[in-house]
Amino acid sequence: MDSFFLGRRRYPARGPTLVMGIVNVTPDSFSDGGRYLDPAAAILHGRQLVEAGADLLDVGGESTRPGSPGVDAACEQQRVLPVIEALARTVDVPISIDTTKPEVARAALDAGATVINDVRGLRAGDELARLAADRAASLILMHSRGTPADMQQQTHYDDLLGEVGAALGEAAETAMRAGVPRERLVLDPGIGFAKEAVDNLRLLNRLGRLVLLGYPVLVGPSRKAFLGKVTGLPVGERLMGTAAACVAAILAGARLVRVHDVALLLPGIRVADAIREERIR
C-alpha cells in the first residue's frame, strides 16, 4: 500500500509523521479532564492545536482512562457535537471522533467528522466498520481488552507482540469484510490499555513487528502512566518522556502520533523524521 486516507485526504505511506492533536471534552480524562469541558474552550483548543501544527484532531467525550465508569450516548453527543460542528467549519484538517458507540459516531460524521477512532478495535461488533464503509470514513482500530473500568485486570500476555498483532490483524479483516477499504484503516497498539508499564516499553521497542502488518500505525503515548513509572514524574511533567516515546515510535515506523502538546513536541517529531529518513526536507 503506497498511500492511505484520513477522511477525504490521501497521504503517502511514507512521509513526515502526522500529528493527531487531542481534544478531550470530558470532566475526568487522566491528564486534562475538565479543562476543555466547556464547548467554547474545546473549540478554541482545537483551533490552537491546528495553528501549532496538528494534522488532524481527535475529539472525545468519554474518558477511557483506567477505572473510568463511562457515560451514555446522549451525554457523549452533547459534549462532542457542538465542538465537532464548529471545528469542521473553521479548521482545514480531518476530525476524528473518539468513540465506541455507533450512534455517537454517526452523529459526529453528520456534524463533520471524517474519521472514527475505535479504542475497542471492533470487539463490540462490526457496526462501526459498516458505518465507516457507508460514509467513506477512515477507521482507527486500537488494541485493548475489557473496558476502561476493568482493563488493567486483563494485562497477562504469553506473547505480547504476537497477541496484539493478531488482534489488530483480525480487527482489520473484520473491517474490510464490512466494506472498509484497506487504505482507510489505521492500527494502534493501544499504549496504556490493558498493558503493564513494561508492556508499553516492549511495544515501543518492537513496534516494527506491527508496522510489518502493512497498515499505517498510530501510537499514543502522551503523558501516560508508564512514563511516570520510568521517570517518577507526575502527569503534568511528562513532556520529555512523551517526546522520547514519540521519537522511539517514529524511528520504528509509526506513521502517526497522538499527543496533547503539539507545539512543544513538533520540533522533536521533525528531528525524528529527519533521522529516520536521513535527510532534511
Q: Which of 258, 270, 276, 279 is catalytic?
A: 258
Catalytic residue status for 229: no
**d(Cα 174, Cα 162) in Å, to the nearest integer?**
18
Cβ neighbours of 142 (radius 10 Å): 26
17 and 273 in contact (C-beta within 8 Å)? Answer: yes
The reply to whether 258 belongs to the active site is yes
Residue of 123, 224, 238, 255 marked catalytic: 224
* Integer Cα distance of 281 and 278 in angstroms: 10
Which of 129, 118, 113 lies closest to 6, judged by CA?
A: 113
Task: Show the DSSP H helices in the chain as ranges.
Answer: 39-52, 73-90, 102-111, 127-135, 160-177, 197-205, 208-211, 225-231, 239-251, 262-277
Q: Which three cell numbers stand for residue 192?
A: 496504556
**Residues involved in catalysis:** 224, 258
